[in-house]
Amino acid sequence: MLNRRYPLGERAGSKLRVSSEGNYGVSPQSPCNTIQGCWEGGTKREDSSALRRREEDAREEFPQSAPQLAWRRALSLPRPTAPAFHSGEPWSSGDPTFQPPRIMTGTSVCLAVLLAVGSRFSLAYQGSGYSPIDDDEDVYARNRYKDIPWCSPIKVKYGYANCRSPQEGYYRNVLGTTCDIHCQKGYGLNGPEHLICQSNKRWSGKVLCKQKRCPTLSMPPNGGFKCVDGAYFNSRCEYYCSPGYQLKGDRVVQCMDNKAWSGRPASCVDMEPPRIQCPSVKEKIAEPNKLTSRVFWDTPEGRDTADGILTDVILKGLPPGSYFSEGNHKIQYTVYDRAGNKGACKFLVKVRVRRCGKSNAPDNGYIKCSGDGDNYGATCDFSCIGGYELQGSPARVCQYNLGWSGTEPTCTPMNINIGVRTAAALLDQFYEKRRLLIISTPTASNYFYRMQLGILQPAQCGLDLRHVTVIELVGVYPAQLGRIGLRLMPPALAVQLRLLLRIPHYNFYMVVVDKHGVDKERYPFPATPAELYALIDTFPLRKEEMKLQAEIGRSCP
């Protein structure tokens, strides 16, 4: 600042002179010994309106106390102009009531000057570090210094300031300058948005641009995340999941300017199905004389790729150790984890049956096989119908080499030997082959005999179906004979048969004998075919015969 002193009138060292308007100045070389000089005391005064405007400007820039303003007004008030006079002339104003003013001595003038200067010292601006003694041009020439820098320049790290000075001058830090504070993208303002350069050469506040920070990300269960720059602006974070879990949501998120993370919140979910490994295909050969095979395997164990916990295991098919029939059998295991995901595996159980080929029943005969009839180990039994004898192997077995044991069976007409000597030898020829219906009559003209023959003639098919052979014993000793079909028996053999079966000689009598030679029923009178059929069908072997006959479709019309 300029360091210049100004007295009440002109600059220091000059003499106080009478102004062009008739006022007087005081010269420092001579005491105040004239009424005009002491009365005026300085240069021409400004008018009150101009002075008031300058005071208001000064108050705005440097606030002052009321006593200081009062002093300034007192020193600046216009004084009344004294009437002109000349030294040595008596005081006269033409007014008899006028009292001449008191003449001020040199000491009084000096005191007034000192008071005026002292009042200048007392007008210092509080808190500003400035005194009008150092720069008393502040009030009268202030407009010349309105564009002088006042506050320190504003520097905003990670931001900038837009400043406006009051007079739109060159400098943007003069007194009264207003600055709008802005931060770069990603930074937030900490402090007021507007700063003003104050009279104490300080700005009205402190500002700081702090990097924006997003909320801390929550750790997803069964996963995590890693970030490039923490949670600050523009930081990128990438989510990851533990083995067995898959990420649901955005894998990469970024901290945005609005302090929020981009994308959707991520989570780790168990979407991978559990794993299970089944055994390979199981192939087995059916056991001998069976159509099934017992198959074993180790139960497969499932494994969950996430937490290793399985909630359920379901088997579709037969369990291990079961008997499997011929063919392909699908076995499937399904496992579930806690998230509801399922995994499955399957394999085949193949059971093969070695077969020899179907064996047929011989003509006029029957066949009965175990198992499936041609499988490995199966046994087939052959038999002939009544009146026929089996020639060949009565039973054959399917062997591992896919061949049948024994020889092919045939059924030939039964050859009854009537030349045997005893009745027992005759009956042995029918054992387990035929049933016997023995009809005894004393004479060929017997009424019951003739009636019975008439009843049985149309029932011959039913009798053959039931394996019944009819033996006729006619006459009495010594004129007695026997007949089987068209073949005649010796009389002695006929007598022995009557004696063996205890058949009466002198009346009609009929005996039914089963295949085991047991006397099952006796009839003293003729019997109808229905009665005979009902009786024979109750015999133990007859039920099996009916089943075989039904299988081959053999029946009587």
The structural domains of the chain, with segments of one domain joined by +, span 159-166+176-211, 223-270, 282-352, 365-412, 417-552
Task: Give me the CATH topology for the region 282-352.
Answer: Immunoglobulin-like (2.60.40)
Candidate from 60-64, 160-164, 301-305, 392-396 with smallest mean pLDDT: 60-64
pLDDT in tens, 360-393: 888 888 888 888 888 898 999 998 876 788 899 9
Candidate from 88-102, 388-402, 460-474, 487-501 with smallest mean pLDDT: 88-102
Q: How confident is the model at residue 55 (pLDDT cuts 50, 70, 90)?
A: low
Amino acid at 115: L
- Region 507-536: what's the mean pLDDT? 93
Long-range contacts made by residues 69-72, C-beta under 8 angstroms, separation at least 24? 71/119, 71/122, 71/123, 72/119, 72/123
| Backbone torsions φ then ψ of 494, nearest 5 degrees | -65, -40
332-350 exposure pattern, b = at least 16 Cβ within 10 A, e = fewer = ebbbbbebebbbbbebebb
Return the closest-CA partner of residue 467 out of 366, 397, 378, 367: 366
Considering 126-135, 136-145, 146-155, the range whose residues carry the highest mean pLDDT is 146-155
Alpha-carbon distance 525 to 506, whole Å?
Answer: 14
Find out whether 470 and 488 touch, Cβ atoms under 8 Å. Answer: no
Return the closest-CA partner of residue 205 out of 214, 196, 218: 196
365-412 homologous superfamily = Complement Module, domain 1 (2.10.70.10)
Task: Kindly state the DSSP code that residue 393 receives in the 8-state scheme.
Answer: -
- Looking at residue 551, what is its pLDDT? 77
Tokens 């063919």, residue located: 327
- The CATH label, of 2.10.70.10, 3.10.20.30, 3.40.50.300, 3.40.50.620, for the domain at 223-270 is 2.10.70.10
Determine the 3-state secondary structure of 189 from DSSP: strand
| Backbone torsions φ then ψ of 218, nearest 5 degrees | -85, 140
First-last CA distance in the chain: 153
Alpha-carbon distance 25 to 8, whole Å?
Answer: 10
Amino acid at 157: K
Q: Which two tokens stand for residue 257?
A: 């300017």
pTM over 0.85: no
- The CATH label, of 3.40.30.10, 3.40.50.300, 1.20.1050.10, 3.10.310.50, for the domain at 417-552 is 3.40.30.10
| Backbone torsions φ then ψ of 264, nearest 5 degrees | -95, 150
- Region 44-67: what's the mean pLDDT? 49
Give Cβ neighbours of residue 273 (< 8 Å, ≥ 6 apart): 337, 341, 342, 343
Determine the 3-state secondary structure of 550 from DSSP: helix
State yes or no: pLDDT of 39 exceeds 90: no
Find out whether 38 and 104 touch, Cβ atoms under 8 Å. Answer: yes
Residues in the chain: 557
Return the closest-CA partner of residue 170 out of 197, 147, 199, 196: 147
Determine the 3-state secondary structure of 64 from DSSP: coil
* Mean pLDDT score across all residues of the chain: 76
Number of helices (H), then strands (E), belonging to the chain: the values are 10, 29
User: What residues does 390 pair with on adjacent strands?
Assistant: 411
How does DSSP assign 528-539, residue by residue?
-HHHHHHHHTTS
Check if 223-270 and 365-412 are the same fold.
yes
Considering 87-96, 160-169, 339-348, 403-412, the range whose residues carry the highest mean pLDDT is 403-412
Find out whether 412 and 362 touch, Cβ atoms under 8 Å. Answer: no
**In Å, what is the CA distance from 539 to each residue of 248, 279, 357, 519?**
81, 55, 34, 12
